Structure 1
């Protein structure tokens, strides 16, 4: 949908707007990552695109990604699988839209899909001058919508506490934890239809940096099992020098918690600006795809210990969040329409 101002569409009744977008396709070999299945960065790119479609068609405006919430990758998605992403509006603020993306995948020869992941995203509507504009308010009507609306509301306070906790941390040269930095120029192929690097591409870089950091620590390939709240602060444009720095801040028995910062610097300036920040949890897997024990990291400096405690605190905060109700928990008429279709034979 082309970008328009809110005023030009405000007369359209909110009830006439679509609050859901669906993308459906087969996974191609080019979509596979190093481990042979779809990696977390590629999945986040897909999520960002379908969520944008839902936000733009509801608001009638160009929208920017502000936040991507917790996402657990429950199972790998293989080449040749049928993937369907459902983006559903679950809450609206004055200028923001909270959109839940549910990811389903299945072998096309099977009758039933498997929900692979769920992820809450927040988009903000902006005008041609990139100023925020009001969006039509959405009201839930079905039982599923009412449940998800309540769950979205409950997450607002927890998300604020998480953002405050992340903003209060300091990452300096005094830290001794393993780290990895990717450095490159933002290319024309990285931008979206609005002329800026799209959020999905930035999240792909976050996933790549977390992979390098985790793989270096354990000495083998790793996969991302979880992304914490990814917050976007500044746009990245073509020609910016992008630095993506991943730093290990905590190890569990079978996992590595990696904090990732993305900065962008104009080539004519020496002042980097924080563009995005998020947390990734990566795991090493055995030949059967099961998480295996990882080498433990012991904090050394005061900064190390502070960040390790911060990682544990984030785990506690996220445990307070109620999962969104999935369509499969509701009556049949609330399930995705495609997968509900009768199968021959």
Structure 2
């Protein structure tokens, strides 16, 4: 199967009225308390901010509470240093019956520099909830401009890819695969995505040999009231931050303590 076999459905009528997409913006300064020992903005904080602006954009579109369902992909192109300004924008890109896809972009720069550098792109999916925390239908997005239509098609493609993978229409890894072979299989499946949706490391045709090493990180976090949302469930941004912390520790253990930084993820 190739990426061309993943068809994209154009926006259609829905039970709820169609509506233009909503955007949300966030501007922050990178302070020392949110940077790592190398002086770079912690990736966990970026993921937390992504969740904040994503929730704002999605909830403004459906006008009801939402919960984070997935982060399909995130690519961080450049490190961000202490003292730089960060601008993050989230825009509703796609809707299904009960979910909202949101594209997130981030730029950064110093006040003395002319123009900011585009440093991050990502995609998140949210589910609208009623007062009991159950998923409810959402207003359907009505894209008008060429850029909105392009984002809608990308969101539809991402959703169809996930559905085909979950229903077995894409190949599943044989149970006899070793851990190294399973990693290779995952990368091969990711190659079914259009080239523009893949991270740079997944765009090549081969992997460099790597020494065998297992780095295991076990992290326990208490669920405090300050980390709960208005539904009484764990705030998605906090969970994403914990995931990044555990991944960072695991990567550093793999490299015998050498510093690392997050450059991307696949949901």
Instruction: Name the TM tier (shorter chain).
Output: 0.7 to 0.9
1:54 paired to 2:57: yes
1:194 paired to 2:231: yes
Query: 1:213 Cα shift?
Result: 1.2
Query: 1:108 Cα shift?
Result: 1.6
Structure 2 contact 21–143 (Cα < 8 Å) conserved? no
Cα distance in 1 for residues equivalent to 2:97 and 2:28: 33
1:226 paired to 2:229: no
Cα distance in 2 for residues equivalent to 1:137 and 1:28: 39
Aligned length: 214
Cα deviations across residues 312-345 of structure 1 (Å, max 9, x unaligned)? xxxxxxxxxxxxxxxxxxxxxxxxxxxxxxxxxx
Correspondence list, 1:52-201, <5 A? 52-161=55-164, 177-201=214-238
Structure 1 contact 35–223 (Cα < 8 Å) conserved? no
Cα distance in 2 for residues equivalent to 1:187 and 1:169: 40
Structure 2 contact 35–82 (Cα < 8 Å) conserved? yes
Pick aligned residue for 1:22 from 5, 20, 25: 25
1:203 paired to 2:240: yes
Query: 1:39 Cα shift?
Result: 2.0
Cα deviations across residues 124-157 of structure 1 (Å, max 9, x unaligned)? 0000101111111111101111111112212223
SS for the counterpart of 1:70 is strand
Structure 2 contact 21–141 (Cα < 8 Å) conserved? no
* Gap regions ≥5 residues in structure 1: 1-11, 230-345
Instruction: Choose 116-125 or 104-113, whichever is displaced more.
Output: 104-113
Structure 1 contact 180–212 (Cα < 8 Å) conserved? yes
* Gap regions ≥5 residues in structure 2: 1-15, 181-212
Cα distance in 2 for residues equivalent to 1:196 and 1:28: 29
Query: 1:166 Cα shift?
Result: 11
Greater relative contact order (CA < 8 Å, ≥ 6 in sequence) = 2
Query: 1:158 Cα shift?
Result: 2.5
Cα distance in 2 for residues equivalent to 1:87 and 1:211: 25
Cα distance in 1 for residues equivalent to 2:124 and 2:58: 10
The change in CA–CA distance for 1:80 and 1:22 in structure 2 (over 3 A counts) is: same
- 2:252 match: 215
Structure 1 contact 58–136 (Cα < 8 Å) conserved? yes
SS for the counterpart of 1:183 is coil
Alignment RMSD (CA, Å): 2.5
- 1:283 match: none
The change in CA–CA distance for 1:127 and 1:180 in structure 2 (over 3 A counts) is: same
Cα distance in 2 for residues equivalent to 1:153 and 1:51: 18
The change in CA–CA distance for 1:139 and 1:226 in structure 2 (over 3 A counts) is: same
1:36 paired to 2:73: no
Cα distance in 2 for residues equivalent to 1:162 and 1:211: 27
